[in-house]
Amino acid sequence: MMAAVVMVMVAAAPTADAAPLVAAPAATLAWGLYVDPQLPAARWVAAHPQDTRAAAIRTSIGRQPMAHWFTGTSDADLGKAVTRYTAAAKTAGKMPVLVAYNLPLRDACGAESAGGAASPAAYRKWITTFATAIGSRPAIVILEPDALGDFSCMTTAQVTARLGLLNAATTVLAAKAPNTWTYIDAGHANWNSPAIVAKRLLSAGVARTRGFAVNVSNYIGTADSRTYAKQVKAALHRPAGYVIDTSRNGNGSNGQWCNPSGRKLGKRSTADPAALELWIKNPGNSDGGCGIAPTSKAGDFSPTLAQRLITGT
């Protein structure tokens, strides 16, 4: 099922589930979402045109709009990479989706994606470069997946430092990338309670952003994710938009988070600002050396994983 391509108007009037926490930037239009030809699935297909899986992966994943993840190690020159990506999207008249994923002590509990900036100072420099490179071009940014979920593995001082860095990130994105809709990651429905997440979002500076994201890189169904998002929004006691990651939730969750079997591609990304459902995780990219891809590192593209997400096996 092809998702309808609709107009995203960043200056659009707010709706009940998409009201911005800050005034939406004016006079910015983009038709549909940007399809990045350099994301892992598309690159794999280009390099393996004779593989029997290539046609299905090209159609079902490689040609679909999804987020481009920027980490401390993803690009040799972050500023040039972000500029190139957002400029290409603007030239195409499309809306790019970016993930900023580089906080110190990243993935403190799961460890499969452990890493991040070496210090708070390094992160402040990195996120400033990221935001400055976006500049005035329109964009959607998902800010720091898992950042508010894994406090149980951190000390009080580390939590305080993290919240300070998230506040710094939301501040610099609002100042340097004024036509960006930023969504702070809020975890998923099976992690923390809406009240806890709302408190953490407020402490992280959600008031400077469009809102929050749920189910990033997870498998929980859209209906359950939307119920959870609405509960978080109610607990915030202030206007908030939200985004649901639908990339791999077609069969819902079986309770496992790391390359579980039997999962399936979810509803393709839509550009409807009133109900943003986006492929944030890139389908086919491994969650880590676990589950049905025990030899794949986190973030590596696996055609086997991609094929199984297509078939739901």
Cα separation, 195 vs 222, in Å, equals 20
Nearest-5° angle of CA 216, CA 18, CA 176? Answer: 75
146 carries an active-site annotation: yes
Cα separation, 174 vs 178, in Å, equals 5
209: closest CA among 235, 186, 234? 186
101: closest CA among 196, 157, 166? 166
Q: Which letter does DSSP use for residue 255 in this model?
A: S
Distances (CA, A) of 214 to 157, 168, 194: 26, 21, 11
Q: What are phi and psi of 219, to 5 degrees?
A: -125, 5
Q: Do 141 and 181 meet the contact criterion of CB atoms below 8 Å apart?
A: yes
Selecting among 146, 150, 245, 287, the annotated active-site residue is 146
The residues annotated with a catalytic role in the active site are 146
